[in-house]
């Protein structure tokens, strides 16, 4: 329970009159603002408030939305478990009143406990967490009434002239249900004035109807694809977990193409049949076109969607449908976890290893871990799904906290692709020669080795599809002056500007700053001296077009796919074999199934192996394994070529040898010996300010009061790798502790003695994934 605050914000601007007949009560109301706790308000008993009711209350000169967190005794003393108030409570009649109760279901006790838990674990303000649950304010009001027209029972007025147009309208409404004005006029082939005239004559009556948003009910009994024996056994286990109506966590560990989605669909079917809601979290909801096609084929209807690309009207409709229990299945990004489910019966986290589930801004949380907490509080099953499970999940399997279901074979007899290493020390990409106009110059540096070029040519000659993977957006990651060596850097961040040649601009991938490529060096003034250094996917596509001019190319990046519609259209084009060679970044690795794609070429397999990230090797293995899994998913055999300058690196050897478990075991032992997650605890503190001296001063003050105790190591303060971000200077502390130590208590005690100036920010990141 968040602590309660005593503040002048609770004092009335002018005393509202009290009626003698009203019985007043006190409620702690949590507001979706970055405040440290709830405020007390009074309300009349006849308002029929409940804990969890969503209300409007006065705060200063404005009305704000909040949620009733608990009822309090008349004297304001907290009930058992609520914690002490920070000051003597105001007398009940001095409190400001709750202004309005919104006509939506109250947040359930499980939802409120979950929000409290997230706030406590992440050290975020409880109101900031509540804001994620009340993320669609327009949804709190009922939908606007729709006016429909239907045939009345009134007789034909004397002297009324019945025209053919009027007769068509009456016949239409005699035969069918009430219709909207525009629909009625269109169906009868008349103008709206004809319908309104009939209403004025009393022959047609207008009725007002409120239509609550809802989603069609999926059919759990609809036949799905035939499951193999292994799939069927796993599906039975998941059905039993749903039927048990108890907390459990199952890791569904299956190779790429093993049919994991179809297996957990059976768990969803069981939840639907039991009348309970299901939530599926995907790391890239905007790229879920094939997932949605599979869902509709299995259940006959589409699920409810929740992600940032929805319009405000769609978000409003989905939020209300979830809250009223009219959305049986929701598929969404990490924020869908905070939707107000009244009867959630199952949570599935697909691609549970994916770093996209970590929220880095605002309230920092990992959706996979919070999904497990939500399942535990609600006493329901959670299913974590991956071909490359995280070390954290595997460690929980070893500890007996999770169970594992394995699918070691691809479905339908398809075989895993053969993985080959291309040693770039020996097979250096030959320079481009004899090219025509409009592409790279003859003799230009190239990025595709001779071996990979030959493999692409063979694939295209066999009328099969290929994929080139490079996890780097844009044309080139760096632009420098040939004359003086000056590098173009973002004015707001310590980061190089990335050239996006297709868009004709340089762009910072951290703050969004963009500018034109200068004609002259801004440092030495040399004209025409700015040169692109290194490859991005656009440069790779340019090379591929030059080498294979007859091939139909397409790029799949977050820059070229502007939303779910564009992503779905590209997926359809690849499935229809309108694309011969697909070039993309990490989003091509996210579960796509292209039956005719037989070749995957990874242009720079070493990218991401280094950089100070404790999970660098694990994440590189996961990404490359996933992208390799796009090849040979049907009857045609697949082939994967990894271009690397370090063929002896354990990641490359594990990929080439198919030794996933041995690699993960070695990673596990390295983490264990170093006391790093999941065998130790980490937290990051990031201070930022527009003023470098100010942030250095506070960092030094924090360092002087840093806790010193056994089992805790504090590193820093030090400039963050991104020392300036969006114009703010950043300093980092990294706190390392033994597994059994509760970092939140240590950090709360440490930070309590420091007051931050208004322009200085402090971000606390428990279990950090980014070290920038």
Please report the DSSP string for 362-426 in residue order.
SS-EEHHHHHHHHHHHHT-EEEEEESS--HHHHHHHHTTSSEEEEE-S-GGG--PPEEEEEETTT
pLDDT given at position 596: 93
DSSP string computed for 75-87: T-PPPTTS---SS
Decide: residue 578, CB within 10 A, 0-12 exposed, 13-18 middle, 19+ buried: exposed
Q: Tell me the C-alpha distance between 68 and 694, whole Å.
A: 39
> What pLDDT digit, counting tens, does each position of 629-675 carry?
999 888 888 999 999 999 999 999 999 999 999 999 999 999 999 99
> Tens of pLDDT along 238-247?
999 999 999 9
Residue 144 pLDDT: 80
Residue 609 per-residue DSSP state:
S
Task: Tell me the CB-side half-sphere exposure of residue 34, using CA atoms within 13 A.
Answer: 7
* Contact yes or no for 612/734 (Cβ under 8 A): no
d(CA 190, CA 196): 11
- The residue to which tokens 């694939």 are assigned: 459
**466 phi and psi angles, rounded to 5 deg:** -125, 160
Give the whole-angstrom CA distance, residue 138 versus residue 160.
Answer: 45
Give the tens place of pLDDT for each residue, 245-264.
Answer: 999 999 999 999 899 999 99
Please give the structure tokens belonging to residue 335: 């924020």
Give the model's pLDDT for residue 206.
87
pLDDT in tens, 132-149: 999 999 999 888 878 888
3-state secondary structure of 745: helix
Whether 176 has a pLDDT exceeding 90, the answer reads no
Question: Side by side, which strands form the sheet with 403-407?
Answer: 304-306, 329-332, 277-281, 344-350, 381-386, 248-254, 403-407
Using CA atoms, how far apart are residues 178 and 149, in angstroms rounded to an integer? Answer: 5
The dihedral through the CA atoms of 90, 92, 96, 97 has a sign that is positive
Rounded CA-CA distance 541/555 in Å is 8
Summarised one tens digit per residue, pLDDT across range 30-41 is 999 998 889 999
Q: What's the pLDDT tens digit per position in 9-28?
A: 444 334 444 454 568 889 99
pLDDT for residue 562 is more than 80? no
How far, CA to CA in Å, does 600 sit from each of 106, 164, 628, 629, 638? 50, 67, 6, 9, 8
- pLDDT confidence band for 290 (50 / 70 / 90): confident
Band of residue 69 on the pLDDT scale cut at 50, 70, 90: very high
pLDDT at 267 over 60: yes
What is the layout of strands, in order, in the sheet containing 204-209? Answer: 179-180, 146-151, 204-209
> What is the average pLDDT across 366-370?
97
Tokens of 613: 């990230």
Contact 639, 420 (CB under 8 A): yes
DSSP 338: G
Q: Give dist(CA 573, CA 550) in Å, integer.
A: 17
- Average pLDDT on 438-466 reads 88
Place of tokens 């009994």: 221
CA dist., res. 94 & res. 331, Å (int): 46
Q: Which of 334-338, 383-387, 430-434 has the lowest mean pLDDT?
A: 430-434
Q: How many helices (H) and strands (E) does the chain have?
A: 19, 33
Q: Tokens for 366, please give them.
A: 């990992």
Tokens 């059994």 sit on residue: 740
56: β partners = 65, 100
Phi-psi region of 275 (alpha: psi -120 to 50; beta: other; left: phi over 0): left
Beta strands in 161-313 (DSSP E): 179-180, 204-209, 248-254, 277-281, 304-306
Give pLDDT tens digits for 704-722.
Answer: 999 999 999 999 999 998 8
pLDDT beyond 70 at 179: yes
Confidence band, pLDDT 50/70/90 cuts, at residue 325: very high
């Amino acid at each position: 329970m968040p602590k309660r605050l005593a503040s002048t914000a609770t004092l009335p601007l002018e005393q509202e009159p009290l009626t003698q007949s009203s019985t007043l009560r006190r409620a702690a109301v949590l507001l979706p603002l970055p405040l440290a706790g709830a405020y007390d308000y009074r309300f009349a008993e006849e308002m029929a408030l409940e804990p969890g009711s969503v209300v409007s209350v006065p705060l200063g000169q404005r009305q704000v939305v909040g949620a009733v967190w608990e009822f309090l005794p008349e004297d304001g003393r907290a009930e058992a478990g609520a914690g002490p108030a920070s000051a003597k409570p105001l007398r009940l009649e001095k409190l400001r009143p709750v202004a309005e109760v919104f006509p939506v279901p109250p947040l359930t006790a499980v939802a409120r406990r979950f929000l409290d838990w997230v706030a406590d674990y992440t050290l975020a303000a409880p109101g900031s967490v509540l804001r994620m649950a009340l993320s669609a304010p327009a949804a709190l009001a009922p939908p606007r009434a729709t006016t429909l027209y239907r045939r009345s029972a009134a007789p034909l007025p004397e002297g009324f002239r019945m025209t053919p147009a009027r007769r068509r309208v009456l016949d239409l409404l005699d035969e069918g249900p009430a219709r909207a004005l525009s629909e009625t006029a269109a169906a009868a082939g008349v103008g709206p004035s004809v319908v309104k005239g009939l209403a004025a004559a009393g022959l047609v009556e207008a009725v007002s109807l409120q239509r609550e948003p809802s989603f069609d009910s999926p059919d759990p009994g609809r036949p799905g694809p035939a499951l193999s024996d292994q799939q069927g056994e796993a599906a039975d286990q998941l059905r039993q977990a749903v039927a048990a109506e108890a907390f459990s966590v199952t890791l569904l560990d299956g190779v790429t193409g093993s049919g994991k989605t179809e297996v957990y669909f059976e768990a969803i079917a069981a939840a639907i049949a039991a009348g309970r809601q299901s939530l599926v979290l995907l790391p890239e909801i905007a790229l879920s076109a094939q997932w949605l096609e599979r869902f509709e084929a299995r259940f006959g209807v589409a699920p409810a969607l929740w992600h940032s690309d929805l319009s405000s009207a769609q978000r409003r409709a989905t939020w209300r449908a979830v809250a009223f229990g009219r959305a049986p299945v929701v598929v969404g990004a990490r924020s869908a976890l905070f939707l107000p489910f009244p009867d959630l019966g199952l949570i599935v986290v697909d691609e549970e290893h994916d770093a996209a589930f970590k929220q880095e801004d605002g309230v920092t949380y990992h959706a996979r871990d919070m999904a497990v907490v939500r399942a535990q509080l609600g006493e329901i099953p959670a299913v974590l799904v991956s071909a490359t499970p995280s070390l954290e999940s595997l460690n929980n399997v070893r500890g007996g906290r999770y169970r594992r279901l394995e699918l070691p074979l691809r479905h339908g007899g398809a075989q895993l692709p053969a993985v080959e290493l291309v040693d770039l020390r020996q097979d250096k990409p030959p320079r481009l020669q004899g090219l025509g106009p409009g592409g790279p110059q003859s003799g230009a540096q190239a990025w595709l080795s001779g071996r990979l070029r030959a493999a692409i040519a063979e694939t295209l000659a066999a009328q099969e599809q290929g994929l080139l993977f490079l996890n780097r957006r844009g044309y080139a990651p760096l632009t420098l002056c040939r004359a003086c060596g000056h590098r173009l850097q973002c004015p707001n961040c310590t980061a190089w500007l990335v050239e996006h040649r297709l868009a004709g601009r340089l762009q910072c991938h951290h703050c969004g700053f963009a500018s034109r490529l200068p004609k002259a060096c801004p440092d030495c003034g040399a004209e025409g001296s700015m040169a692109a250094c290194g490859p991005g996917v656009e440069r790779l596509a340019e090379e591929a077009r030059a080498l294979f001019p007859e091939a139909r190319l397409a790029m799949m990046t977050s820059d070229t796919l502007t939303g779910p519609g564009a992503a779905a259209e590209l997926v359809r084009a690849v499935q229809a074999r309108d694309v011969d060679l697909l070039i993309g970044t990490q989003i091509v690795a996210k579960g796509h199934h292209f039956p005719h794609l037989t070749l995957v070429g990874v242009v720079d397999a070493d990218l991401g192996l280094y950089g100070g990230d404790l999970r660098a090797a694990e994440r590189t293995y996961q990404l490359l394994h996933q992208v390799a899994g796009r090849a040979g998913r049907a009857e045609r055999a697949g082939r994967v070529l990894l271009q690397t300058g370090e063929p002896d690196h354990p990641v490359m050897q594990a990929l080439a040898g198919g030794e996933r478990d041995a690699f993960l075991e070695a990673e596990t032992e390295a983490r264990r010996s170093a006391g790093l997650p999941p065998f130790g605890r980490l937290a990051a503190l990031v201070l930022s300010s527009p003023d470098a001296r100010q942030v250095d001063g506070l960092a030094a003050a924090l360092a002087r009061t840093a806790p010193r105790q056994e089992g805790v190591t504090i590193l820093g303060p030090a400039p963050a790798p991104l020392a300036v971000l969006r114009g703010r200077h950043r300093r980092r502390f990294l706190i390392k502790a033994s597994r059994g130590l509760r970092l939140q208590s240590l950090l709360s005690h440490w930070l309590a003695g420091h007051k931050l100036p208004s322009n200085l920010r402090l971000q606390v990141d428990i279990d950090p994934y980014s070290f920038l």
